[in-house]
Amino acid sequence: MSELALRRPLMNRRYTLEVRQQMAWPWQALILTGSLIMGLLISGAILVWAGVPAGELLNEFVFLTLFDAQSLRAVLFQASPLIMVGLAGCLAFRARFWNLGLEGQMIFGAIGATAITLWEIGSPAMRLPLMVIAAMVCGLLWSVAPVLLRLKLQVNEIVSTLMLNYIAINFLLHLMYGAWKDPKDAFPYSPKYESFELLPDLANGLSLSFPIAIGTALLVLWFVSISRGGLYLRFVDKSPQVARSVGVPVARTILLAVLFSGALAGLAGLMIAAGQEGRLTHSFYVGYGFSGILIAFLARNNPIAATCAALLIATLFVAGRSLQVFYQIPFAMVQLIQAVLVICVASSDFFIRHRIRRVQMGD
Amino acid sequence: MRNLVLSACLALASFFGLANTAAAEGLTLDGPPKVAMLYISPTNDGGWTQAFDEARQRLEDELDIRIRYVESVPESASAIRPAVERFIQRGANIIIGTAFGYSDTFKSLSEEYPDVAFLNGSGTTNGPNLLSFYGRTYESQYLCGMAAGAASETGKLGFVAANPFGQVNWTINAYAMGAREMNPDATVTVVYTGAWNDPTKERSATQALIDQGADVIGQHVDTPTPQLVAQENGVYGTGHHRDFREFAPEATVCSSVWVWDRFLKAELEKIIAGNWVPRENGALLSMEEGGTDIACCGPNISEDEEARIMAAREKLMNGELDVYAGPLSDQDGNVRAAAGESIPDGELWQMDWFVDGVITQQ
């Protein structure tokens, strides 16, 4: 039979698309790498079309972006809060809770940390740990209302978390232009943090943010894959109805995951205020909510994959700046390239989950 | 967000003093000047950034140098640093920023790269190789207030403003004083949108002001939306950043415009000449020094009125007119400047009071 099928003309062969149950992770990694290379080739073609010499592109751009200590540091500097919002997204989405309020939770995290600095709570040695706790508690509190509304009253969290962002943003502006403006110059940012209120630099300009982000990723990995809560979470993710009928505490599981998510977003806010800016500023949160959702989506809510995706996004940001500096191309072009790469990575998902199989005919 | 130079930063001033005695000499570039600019928005934003980009092109011609730039660099250290470090890696030795939110990052970069000259438009930090600069927008907006007062039939002016703090409030007060120069009964009703760039809010604020009877709309926000809405309603307006007759030729009677090249040309020449010592407290530029100017006058301004506005401009250009000269009281009767005195820059930055004729929610 099979000999017959082989001899059929090409056009007569039939193929079918099948859903794949499992794929070994080396294959997954290979497909992912392939799609990245595909994206880079398309991006390269766009750049060459825009007038950038092809040889130069490979030589100085790829080399300088990936193997330069300064730019590597810039990537890690940028990546830490992205990893945090990515993890925050993963946790909430695993509970089927569409947390679009990451920015609002970040804002309140940073506000909580700044309140500790302004009111000078605790000794200098205790200040930073207190700021971390305050940031997590405030981020968590800002996610309490939407999750309770959802669980008790079936209020759609997409709307409630999104709207709470605007409240948080306007409250931040109210503080920045009002009570918390820097008394030194009346400008809309908080007074500078003291040196002991900043996340310290470890060796080579690497901030403490990055190890914290990696540690958090491992903690989330433990939570979702080993802990009992993670097991419940997988039930809730697959089918809340079935989970409820087999006795999983669905409401408590969702609550736990969402509050965890809010606390991590609050910590991301602290990382920007105490790790990058050195004070509370009025627009530090911009773009992080969307990035967090994108990272969680690319990572399919896997915390380790989210860490990698956040590093990829950070590399794209830094490389995008270099592209502008080197070739004076418009920022829109940089965004186009970033979108091409993200779409390529996202569509690799299709090849991981499906396979093409030739159908035998005539038997 | 935009703006500003900070006037009194004691810590920085003392740092500057120390560095100055140690070196006793200013900054001299080694090698030919290579200039790079960082823009906060796209080059075609129609306002703040486009004004800088137009200045950049004029500077390239006048100084015969190439000036590179990156656009859309947000006000966060993680975005500013890689761009500046890349430029320096590629040999740039003069870096020009364009946002108040770059201030802290520029300060630490200027300390890490003492051989590079840093300039920051609307910044707040200064140092031995870092100069922040901004324009006294109240001067040009005083003139636009005069034009608004002249163009108005009802004497009711509206004003769409971004956020309530010093550099916006000084614009509003000057606008009202200018308007009252032409029409002593004029009032200025202010709406703060809480954002520098929010066309939706600007549209509804402008429409509300017009519905309440305002027939000239002033603005201190970044988009030309208030002028577009004024034109749609058949009333007048005054622009900010650039000449908004480009967008609303039938409505815009005057615009406060940035003329950065006038200042930057002189400052870049000083840096290139060597031994550059930036001003300790930053450069708050008067029209005389090349910060702002006006594009005037549009429709509904008589020749006589135009002559009065231009005469006032002449006085500002010569340094003969001080908008905030005393005697000056706020609308609660507190004396803000006694006769023969002026308001110091430090207090201008902190301005949170309004003169007679200004109506706000604040």
pLDDT at residue number B227: 96
CA dihedral B58, B63, B68, B71 (to 10 degrees): -30
Sheet containing B358-359: which strands, arranged edge to edge?
B292-296, B252-258, B236-241, B216-220, B156-161, B187-192, B358-359
- Is residue A45, in this structure, part of any structural domain at all? no
Of A2-16, A20-34, B5-19, B172-186, which has the strongest mean pLDDT?
A: B172-186
Residues of chain A by 3-state class (helix, strand, coil), percent to 5:
75, 5, 25
Residue A335, amino acid: Q
Mutation target for A interface from B6, B75, B76: give the one with most A CBs within 10 A.
B76
Query: Which own/partner contact pairs does A250-257 have at CB distance under 8 Å and 24+ positions apart?
Result: A251/A151, A253/A95, A253/A229, A254/A95, A254/A96, A254/A97, A254/A147, A254/A150, A254/A151, A255/A147, A255/A148, A255/A151, A256/A229, A257/A91, A257/A92, A257/A94, A257/A95, A257/A97, A257/A229, A257/A233
Region B70-94: mean pLDDT is 93
pLDDT at residue number A6: 56
pLDDT at residue number A323: 84
For the domain B10-135+259-289, what is the CATH code?
Answer: 3.40.50.2300
pLDDT in tens, B321-335: 999 998 999 999 999
At A355, the pLDDT band (50, 70, 90 cuts) reads confident
Residue A60, amino acid: E
Domain with A273 in it = 82-354
Weakest mean pLDDT among A32-46, A154-168, B48-62: A32-46
- Is residue A58, in this structure, part of any structural domain at all? no
B66–chain A Cβ distance below 8 A for any pair: no
pLDDT at residue number A1: 46
Q: How far is residue B5's CA from residue B114's CA, in Å, rounded to a whole number? A: 21
Residues of chain B by 3-state class (helix, strand, coil), percent to 5:
40, 20, 40
| Residue B2 confidence (pLDDT) above 50 | no
- Is residue A204, in this structure, part of any structural domain at all? yes
CA distance B103 to chain A (A): 10
Q: How far is residue B322's CA from residue B303's CA, in Å, rounded to a whole number? A: 24
The answer to whether the Cβ–Cβ distance between B9 and A188 falls below 8 Å is no
Q: Which of A78, A188, A276 sits opposite B163 (nearest CB)?
A: A188
Q: Which of B83, B101, B166 sits opposite A325 (nearest CB)?
A: B83
The answer to whether the Cβ–Cβ distance between B42 and A287 falls below 8 Å is no
A290–chain B Cβ distance below 8 A for any pair: no
The residue of chain A with its CA nearest to that of B66 is A328
| Residue A362 confidence (pLDDT) above 60 | no
**How many Cβ atoms sit within 10 Å of the Cβ of residue B239?**
30
A185–chain B Cβ distance below 8 A for any pair: yes
The domains of chain B are located at 10-135+259-289, 137-258+292-359
Sheet containing B283-285: which strands, arranged edge to edge?
B67-70, B35-38, B94-97, B117-121, B130-135, B283-285
pLDDT at residue number A68: 82
A331: chain B residues, CB-CB within 8 Å: 42, 70-72
The residue of chain A with its CA nearest to that of B87 is A325
Residue A49, amino acid: W
The answer to whether the Cβ–Cβ distance between B104 and A77 falls below 8 Å is no
A79 touches A117 (CB < 8 A): no
B7: chain A residues, CB-CB within 8 Å: 185
pLDDT at residue number B23: 47
At B29, the pLDDT band (50, 70, 90 cuts) reads very high
pLDDT in tens, A166-196: 999 999 999 998 899 988 888 889 999 999 9
What are the structure tokens assigned to A15, written together?
């193929």
What is the average pLDDT value for chain B, to the nearest integer?
91
pLDDT at residue number A358: 78
| Residue A36 confidence (pLDDT) above 90 | no
pLDDT at residue number B10: 39
Beta strand B130-135 pairing with B283-285: parallel
| Residue B126 confidence (pLDDT) above 90 | yes
pLDDT at residue number A293: 93
pLDDT at residue number A348: 87
The answer to whether the Cβ–Cβ distance between B82 and A71 falls below 8 Å is yes
| Residue A133 confidence (pLDDT) above 50 | yes
Residue B339, amino acid: A
B209: CB partners within 8 A, 6+ apart: B158, B159, B160, B189, B191, B217
The residue of chain A with its CA nearest to that of B88 is A325
For A361, the 3-state DSSP assignment is: coil
The answer to whether the Cβ–Cβ distance between B100 and A187 falls below 8 Å is yes
Region B344-358: mean pLDDT is 93
pLDDT in tens, B217-241: 999 999 999 999 999 999 999 999 9
B348–chain A Cβ distance below 8 A for any pair: no
For B359, the 3-state DSSP assignment is: strand
The continuous run of DSSP H or E covering A208 comes out as none
Mutation target for A interface from B2, B14, B86: give the one with most A CBs within 10 A.
B86
Which of A22 and A311 is assigned the larger pLDDT? Answer: A311
B146 touches B257 (CB < 8 A): no
CATH classification at residue A275: 1.10.3470.10
CA distance B42 to chain A (A): 7
Q: How far is residue B259's CA from residue B257's CA, in Å, rounded to a whole number? A: 6
| Residue B51 confidence (pLDDT) above 60 | yes
The answer to whether the Cβ–Cβ distance between B82 and A74 falls below 8 Å is yes
B164: chain A residues, CB-CB within 8 Å: 177
ipTM of the complex: 0.85
A61–chain B Cβ distance below 8 A for any pair: no
| Residue B18 confidence (pLDDT) above 50 | no
The answer to whether the Cβ–Cβ distance between A330 and B90 falls below 8 Å is no
Nearest to A138 by CA among A230, A266, A279, A243: A266
At B5, the pLDDT band (50, 70, 90 cuts) reads very low
Region B309-319: mean pLDDT is 95
pLDDT in tens, A70-101: 888 889 999 999 999 999 999 999 999 999 99
Same fold for the pair B10-135+259-289 and B137-258+292-359: yes
At A327, the pLDDT band (50, 70, 90 cuts) reads confident
The answer to whether the Cβ–Cβ distance between B165 and A188 falls below 8 Å is yes
Query: What 8-state DSSP symbol labels residue B186?
Result: -
CA-angle at A167, arms to A161 and A169, nearest 5°: 105
- Is residue A31, in this structure, part of any structural domain at all? no
pLDDT in tens, B247-281: 999 999 999 999 999 999 999 999 999 999 999 88
pLDDT at residue number B11: 41
Q: Looking at chain A, how many residues does it have?
A: 363
At B1, the pLDDT band (50, 70, 90 cuts) reads very low
The residue of chain A with its CA nearest to that of B37 is A325
B74: chain A residues, CB-CB within 8 Å: 283, 286-287
pLDDT at residue number A3: 52
pLDDT in tens, B135-186: 999 999 999 999 999 999 999 999 999 988 889 999 999 999 999 999 999 9
B69–chain A Cβ distance below 8 A for any pair: yes
pLDDT in tens, A275-299: 999 999 999 999 899 999 999 988 8
At A69, the pLDDT band (50, 70, 90 cuts) reads confident
Q: How far is residue A266's CA from residue A88's CA, in Å, rounded to a whole number? A: 9
CA distance A146 to chain B (A): 26
Total number of domains constituting chain A: 1
pLDDT at residue number B4: 42
- Is residue A37, in this structure, part of any structural domain at all? no
CA distance A286 to chain B (A): 9
A165–chain B Cβ distance below 8 A for any pair: no
Region B284-295: mean pLDDT is 93
φ/ψ of A172, rounded to 5, equals -60, -45
CA distance B282 to chain A (A): 13
Weakest mean pLDDT among A53-67, B88-102, B113-127: A53-67
CA distance B83 to chain A (A): 6
Phi/psi zone of residue B296: left (φ > 0), alpha (ψ -120 to 50 degrees), beta? beta
Mutation target for B interface from A56, A65, A187, A322: give the one with most B CBs within 10 A.
A187
CA distance B1 to chain A (A): 9
Record the pTM. Answer: 0.88
For the domain B137-258+292-359, what is the CATH code?
Answer: 3.40.50.2300
Q: How far is residue B304's CA from residue B184's CA, in Å, rounded to a whole number? A: 17
The count of CB pairs under 8 A between chains A and B is 102
